[in-house]
Amino acid sequence: MTDAANPLLKDWDTPFGLPPFAEIDDAQFAPALDAALDEGRANIAAIADNPAPPSFANTIEALELADATLDRVAGVFFNLAGSDSNPAREALQRDFAPKFSAYSSEITNNARLFARIADLWERREDLGLSDEQMRVLYLTHRSFVRSGAALDGAARDRLTEVKGRLAVLGTQFAQNLLADERDWFMELAETDLEGLPDFVVAAARAAGEDKGTGGPVVTLSRSLIVPFLQFSPRRDLREAALKAWAARGANGGETDNREIAAEILALRAERATLLGYADFASYKLETEMAGSAARVRELLMAVWEPAKRAADADAAVLEEMMRADGVNGPLEPWDWRYYAEKRRRAEHDLDETELKPFFQLDAMIGAAFDCANRLFGLEFAPLDVDLYHPDARAWEVTRDGNHVAVFVGDYFARGSKRSGAWCSAMRSQKKLGGDVRPIVVNVCNFAKGDPALLSYDDARTLFHEFGHALHQMLSDVTHGSISGTSVARDFVELPSQLYEHWLEVPEVLQKHARHAQTGAPIPQDMLDRLLAAQTYDMGFQTVEYVASALVDLDFHEGAAPEDPMAAQAGTLARIGMPRAIGMRHATPHFAHVFAGDGYSSGYYSYMWSEVMDADAFAAFEEAGDAFDKGLADKLERHILSAGGSRDAAELYTAFRGRMPGVEALLKGRGLDRVA
């Protein structure tokens, strides 16, 4: 196929410039990406070899536009690779990883290009740049230096090798994890369904249909395995399911991730040393709000101690409940959720089987849209367009009749989709080179049903990812490199975690939490009990998260461990990890940290952002109105629309007037009352 015939390389005459999914075949990706890489190389060479003196326009702006075709093609491919993978796409990912790494290194190793950037940086005060232009110049120069542009000779060549190998290993780690999650399932006999709520039974049957077993199954999808662990009275089945979930990436054979993790950690440490840093944590945290491993550890330990005390107290109660059931021996990880759910029903009179019908997927999507309308004036209209999978659906987002974005929601679990939930952009907002409006995607892994019912935690996940989507959709910057979520890692979770708070607003639940069959609103007493129980089991939730964050930090501070599993065990022993609670993400399936380096030394960032989100929502509480227009306008102006145009601390301070302390977080988690 010629480039001219490849739909990935043609102008897309489609509604809103959406990718022409119906015309795209997997065989077209490799030639399209190769062509896009060649075009990018030619554009970079033209910038580097430009005989005119360096200017912001002919160097920085030209660099911003150099990869337009590559960004477009890669935006389609990597969204598909994560949400609807297949063997062909997995093979393409393995092939592309070293190519992308080599291309990136070619750019940062281009001495003539870096000389132009360095010249502009030296003369920055004389260039008459706007604040945004100055920020983009600063970030571009910093990125090149941190990528090794100032190195030469053997050090530069070795860094290129290291980055290339890391790209290959990250892809392999992610694909191994997907294979383990896709391949394992546990068939259930009809008698094994006894005691399970109808929604779990329905999800198990739907999963069985997906696996072609002809009967119900438990898979490693979080939206199925967690409720199974909560409700199944069969301790043996809970144990088997929990052990399979915990063993992802550590089952031996070709999909085992333990040696891959060790090599990744060693290469990251070498990368940091080549760039002149003491360790990888020092390198990585230099650009984050936290700034240092010491500040991260201070935050995590300030939360760990009260969380562990709460978890230990809860464990004693759950163990007594287990004894009352005639079960001897210690409380185990496969027991916690089951007895915690029984205790929640007893103490808060909350039964997940009674709650779930009030959290229908479509109603929660409507709630997220309604809040965005009341806060920011956004409106959402369904689109009848071709997408990449029948489960995906799209909406046009407008404000005052003007097009803002296209939003795509892909909500159901399937074997071709990696686990978890995320937000991505097939196209990001920018004004340089034309007014480009974003195409934003939310991907979740909810269990299918008719209708699809969510747990309250699922609904929070939906709001969380939609908060990221708002950060992308409301972006209003000129340069694509600082658009939307292109901010410090420990700031990027602020909009998403902040948006979760609107799900807790009583009037939102009264309006949208309606029974799937009867349409009746959630009863007031049930709503009161639900909101009163928001900090229930918070010791468990906080311990499993903070333990993972501390292991991540320990991996990257100081010398890289030769045996990551032994290092993980050492960290957990040092902090006194409760035996009945597992890490939220153990090393062999810690995709945040090992499937790429986005959250490496940075898994703490959810909690760093939570310090801010608790304080930010308190501003609305202090105003006495969760939909206060003045505050919503400030939130959009200083955070959601600003992207990375200013330092994260400046942006937050502009919104709130000051930086917060950890007190709001502890209060929000109910840990301020732990003795």
Last-in-domain residue among 558, 582, 603: 603
221 three-class SS: coil
DSSP string, 13-80: -SGGG---GGG--GGGHHHHHHHHHHHHHHHHHHHHT--SPP-IIIIIIHHHHTTHHHHHHHHHHHHH
* Residue 593 predicted with pLDDT over 70: yes
298 and 327 housed in the same domain: yes
Q: Are residues 334 and 449 in the same domain?
A: no
Taking the C-alpha atoms of residue 220 and residue 226, their distance in angstroms, rounded to an integer, is: 9
Say whether both 138 and 32 belong to one domain: yes
Question: How buried is residue 500: exposed, middle or buried, by Cβ count under 10 Å (0-12/13-18/19+)?
Answer: buried
CA distance 363 to 384: 20
Spatial CA neighbour of 331 closest among 343, 317, 342:
317
Please indicate, yes or no, whether residues 382 and 397 belong to a single structural domain of this protein. Answer: yes
Tokens of 345: 């029903």
With CA atoms as reference, report the closest residue to 177 among 233, 246, 279. 246
Query: Is the CB of residue 240 less than 8 Å from the CB of residue 186?
Result: yes
Residue 308: count other Cβ atoms within 10 Å of its Cβ.
21
Residues 16 and 126 in one domain: yes
Can you spell out the DSSP letters for 345-379?
HHHH---HHHHGGG-BHHHHHHHHHHHHHHHH--E
Q: With contact defined as beta carbons under 8 Å apart, do 497 and 606 qualify?
A: yes
Taking residues 220-230, report their average pLDDT: 93
- CA gap 347, 666 in Å, rounded: 22
Active-site residue, 621 included: no
pLDDT over 70 at 675, yes or no: no
**Do 538 and 307 meet the contact criterion of CB atoms below 8 Å apart?**
yes
If you ran DSSP here, which 8-state letter would residue 453 be given? B
Same domain, 243 and 278: no
Place of tokens 């909406």: 395
- Work out the percent of the chain whose per-residue pLDDT is above 90: 92
Q: Are residues 84 and 69 in the same domain?
A: yes
Whether residues 362 and 434 share a domain: the answer is: yes
409 in any annotated domain: yes
What distance lies between CA 202 and its chain's CA centroid?
A: 28
| Per annotation, catalytic residue among 341, 465, 493, 500 | 465
> Residue 68 corresponds to which tokens in the numbers above?
């337009």
Give which of 413, 428, 483 is closest to 218, Cα–Cα.
Answer: 413
pLDDT in tens, 1-44: 567 789 999 999 999 999 999 999 999 999 999 999 999 999 99
Q: What's the angle, vertex CA 129, arms to CA 124 and CA 131, rounded to 5? A: 105
| pLDDT digits 0-9 by tens, 380-420 | 999 999 999 999 999 999 999 999 999 999 999 998 998 88
Distance from C-alpha of 45 to C-alpha of 43, rounded to nearest angstrom: 5
**331-379: pLDDT as tens digits:** 999 999 999 999 999 998 888 888 999 999 999 999 999 999 999 999 9
3-state helix, strand, coil in the chain (%, to 5): 60, 5, 30
- Count how many residues are written for the chain: 675
673 pLDDT more than 80: no
Instruction: Give a yes or no: residue 379 inside a domain.
Output: yes
Regarding whether 362 and 314 lie in a shared domain, the answer is no
pLDDT above 60: residue 136 = yes
- Residue 592 inside a domain? The answer is yes
Amino acid at 98: P
pLDDT at residue 668, as a whole number:
84
Tens of pLDDT, residue by residue over 234-292, are 999 999 999 999 999 999 999 999 999 999 999 999 999 999 999 999 999 999 999 99
Residues contacting residue 206 through CB under 8 Å, at least 6 positions apart: 447, 448, 449
Provide the token pair at 226.
């967690």
Average pLDDT, the chain: 95
In contact, 392 and 416? CB cutoff 8 Å? no
Rounded CA separation 583/246 (Å): 9
> Residue 533: which of 627, 447, 619, 457 has the closest Cα?
457
- Give Cα separations from 105 to 40, 66, 156, 569, 610 (angstroms): 13, 15, 9, 36, 35
From residue 501, give the alpha-carbon distance in Å to each of 278, 443, 497.
39, 20, 7
For the segment 613-623, the average pLDDT, to the nearest whole number, is 95
Token pair recorded at residue 533: 């129980």
Angstrom distance (rounded) from CA 464 to CA 457? 10
Decide if 91 is inside a domain: yes
Is 371 part of a structural domain of the chain?
Answer: yes
The per-residue pLDDT for 449 is 85
Q: Is 247 helix (H, G, I), strand (E, B) or coil?
A: coil
pTM surpassing 0.85? yes
Percent of the chain whose predicted confidence (pLDDT) is above 70: 99
Q: Are residues 646 and 518 in the same domain?
A: yes
pLDDT for res 3: 73
Q: Average the pLDDT over 157-185 and give the result.
A: 95
Give the model's confidence band at 527: pLDDT under 50 very low, under 70 low, under 90 confident, else very high: very high
Q: Are residues 372 and 422 in the same domain?
A: yes
Within 10 Å of residue 653's Cβ, how many Cβ atoms?
14
Whether residue 233 has pLDDT greater than 90: yes
Residue range 471-503, pLDDT digits in tens: 999 999 999 999 999 999 999 999 999 999 999
- Show the domain range for 225: 184-248
Buried b / exposed e along 265-287 (16+ C-beta atoms within 10 A): bbbbbbbbebbebebbbbbbbee
User: Worst-scoring range by mean pLDDT, 43-52, 241-250, 442-451, 467-476?
Assistant: 442-451
Q: What is the CA radius of gyration of the chain?
A: 25
Please give the pLDDT value at position 22: 94
Domain boundary among 603, 626, 658: 603
The residue assigned the tokens 């205790």 is: 343
Taking each helix axis from N to C terminus, what angle separates 235-246 and 222-231, rounded to the nearest 10 degrees?
A: 150
Q: Are residues 526 and 559 in the same domain?
A: no
The domain that holds 76 is classified in CATH as 1.20.1050.40
Asked whether residue 152 is assigned to any structural domain, the reply reads no
State the sign of the Cα–Cα–Cα–Cα dihedral 596, 538, 356, 511: negative
For residue 291, the domain's CATH number is: 1.10.1370.10
In degrees, rounded to 5, the angle at the alpha carbon of residue 72 between the alpha carbons of residues 90 and 14 is: 110
Question: Using the 8-state DSSP alphabet, how is residue 589 labeled?
Answer: G
d(CA 100, CA 469) in angstroms, rounded, equals: 26
How many independent structural domains does the chain possess? 4
Q: How far apart are CA 435 and CA 387, in angstroms?
A: 23
**Biggest CA-to-CA distance, the chain:** 83
Domain endpoint, select from 227, 248, 269:
248
Residue 229 contacts residue 338 (beta carbons within 8 Å): yes
The answer as to whether 176 is a domain residue is no
Contact 360, 411 (CB under 8 A): no
Q: What is the C-alpha to C-alpha distance for residues 215 and 204, in angstroms, rounded to an integer?
A: 8
Q: Report if residue 675 sits inside a domain.
A: no
Both structure tokens of 385: 């367009």
Q: Is 443 helix (H, G, I), strand (E, B) or coil?
A: strand
Distance CA 379, CA 184 (A): 41
